[in-house]
Amino acid sequence: MISGPLIRARPPMREDLAAALAWQIELGADEAIAEAPQDRFEESRPNSAPAKPPAPTAQKAAPPAAARQATPEAAFPSAAALAGRATTLEDLSRALAEWQGSDLRKGARNCVFADGRPGAPVMVIGEAPGADEDRLGKPFVGRAGQLLDRMLGAIGLSRDAEDLAKAVYITNILPWRPPGNRTPSEQETAAFLPFVERHIALAGPKVLLTIGNTPTKTLLATTQGIRRMRGNWQTHGASGLPLLPSFHPAYLLRQPAEKAQAWRDLLALQARLEALSGNT
């Protein structure tokens, strides 16, 4: 038996709290999303009391009561079933916000659907919302988004152009921000693919511009990286549309020397649009 002075836990000091916070930031927790911590391990144990959900936001509606009480399939419809039922972009946006099939929604504030003009000839598809997009509920509004706007502007395109022929429509593969902005897993991107494919069909673009690895690999079902794929026109299987992979603007912010390649891709996109509208 060990004898000696009884060691009592002292209350945490300022330095302890600062060290705990620094550790969490290092793990990728860069934002407080709820007042009290939630123990997801405890919640997933059988017989544990149901978790108190985070305060709902306007865009994170629970499934309708009828669906919750019905059969498992009705209560938890698949992404393909829900997406297939959407006949308008509004339907699809609602279905996406309500779909309970991914835990990513638990750590995000807003379901980020799209920006720009439906029916625009170019549909830009990125990876997933970051912190700014999650806060504002719109895709590509942070630094990378500002660069994307400048890049598109250089070939006369913008998300709010009055002339539909000069407009773009912008979305992401994932509508929820992954914790700490980590790269989405293949399971996560595959889970949302039926929504993205329906989104393309309902938005009705003439060409797709995938920016970065995630949308390129997801839509083309390829393992080839963006360095190899960029600048090479492809055909998107589900829609039959021409698809041009290019670099993600966040990558260009880190590697400005690659902007020359991205510029070549933009010129290729411009030429394709001109050919499609019969201006060549």
Least distance between ligand URA and beta carbon 148 (Å): 8
Distance (Å, rounded) from C-alpha 137 to C-alpha 160? 17
Least distance between ligand URA and beta carbon 9 (Å): 43
Q: 3-state SS string over the chain?
A: CCCCCCCCCCCCCHHHHHHHHHHHHHCCCCCCCCCCCCCHHHHHCCCCCCCCCCCCCCCCCCCCHHHHHCCHHHHCCCHHHHHHHCCCHHHHHHHHHHCCCCHHHHHCCCCCCCEECCCCCEEEEECCCCHHHHHHCCCCCCHHHHHHHHHHHHCCCECCCCCHHHEEEEEECCCCCCHHHCCCCHHHHHHHHHHHHHHHHHHCCCEEEEECHHHHHHHHCCCCCHHHHCCCCEECCCCCCEEEEECCHHHHHHCHHHHHHHHHHHHHHHHHHHHHCCCC
Q: Which CB sits closer to ligand URA, 77 or 196?
A: 196
Q: Which CB sits closer to ligand URA, 129 or 194?
A: 129
Q: Which CB sits closer to ligand URA, 77 or 97?
A: 97
Q: Which CB sits closer to ligand URA, 77 or 129?
A: 129
- Which residue is at the shortest CB distance from ligand URA? 126
Binding positions for ligand URA, rule: CB under 6 A: 126-130, 133, 139-140, 142, 144-145, 172, 250
Q: Is residue 86 within 8 Å of 92, Cβ to Cβ?
A: yes
Least distance between ligand URA and beta carbon 209 (Å): 12
Distance (Å, rounded) from C-alpha 256 to C-alpha 38? 40
Q: Which CB sits closer to ligand URA, 77 or 248?
A: 248
Least distance between ligand URA and beta carbon 165 (Å): 24
Q: Which CB sits closer to ligand URA, 121 or 145?
A: 145
Least distance between ligand URA and beta carbon 81 (Å): 26
Sign of CA dihedral 272, 274, 278, 280: negative
Least distance between ligand URA and beta carbon 218 (Å): 12
Q: Which CB sits closer to ligand URA, 135 or 236?
A: 135
Least distance between ligand URA and beta carbon 129 (Å): 5
